Amino acid sequence: MGMIERVLTLMFGGGANLLRDTAEVFHENAEAGAARDHARAEAALSQFSAEFGQCRSRFDVLIDGINRLPRPLLALGTIGLIVAAMIDPIWFAERMQGLALVPEALWWLMGAVVSFYFGARHQLKNQQFQRDVTANMARVPQVVANIDALRDLRADSPGVAAAPLAVASMAVDANPALEEWRRQRAVA
């Protein structure tokens, strides 16, 4: 028995597990890998939160509102031109003749300005979306803890009967009518 015990102690016990240590050379320890991934994700989220977690001023909100106007105005203006062409074709044709006099270089310049404007707006909105996602992801651990605490309060959860009652729920409220009734009964 002594020899079998020594072999088993060498392979499985004695502070060092030969099989586990050998297997980890060829295959990653899943628990340690998950811990490293979690630490990396937490570090990335905290970095994003620090970078994008700034408050917006009223001026920023106002400018953002003004920046939102061109797209709806262009869309509604185009629809308005179509309606105007159907209502008064002569008036519409006169305006289009005026547009025919605009030089081609000016059309190219307007196209570049509109493209850059909408491209910049798209990039800004994409960055704000990423910031919001990062802020929401940073709140996930607190939300999970809140959900766990709420689930512990369910009637079918184990240990709910042993939960301490709130002191305020056990306090007796003063009842002036009851006290008056007791005084009258004590006198009589």
3 within a domain of the structure (yes/no): yes
pLDDT per residue as tens digits for the range 106-132: 988 888 888 887 777 778 888 888 888
Rg of the chain over Cα atoms, rounded to whole angstroms, equals 37
Looking at per-residue pLDDT, the higher value among 35 and 28 belongs to 35
Q: What is the span of the domain harbouring residue 37?
A: 1-52
> What is the number of domains present in the chain?
1
Query: How many CB atoms neighbour CB 134 within 10 A?
Result: 19
Scored b (16 or more CB within 10 A) or e, 87-109 reads: eeeeebeeeeeeeeeeeeeeeee
pLDDT per residue as tens digits for the range 61-111: 898 888 888 888 988 999 999 999 999 888 888 888 888 888 889 988 888
183 within a domain of the structure (yes/no): no
Q: Give the separation between CA 130 and CA 47, rounded to whole angstroms.
A: 13
18 within a domain of the structure (yes/no): yes
Q: Are 152 and 158 in contact (CB under 8 A)?
A: no
pLDDT per residue as tens digits for the range 163-172: 555 444 555 6
109 within a domain of the structure (yes/no): no
This prediction's pTM:
0.35
80 within a domain of the structure (yes/no): no
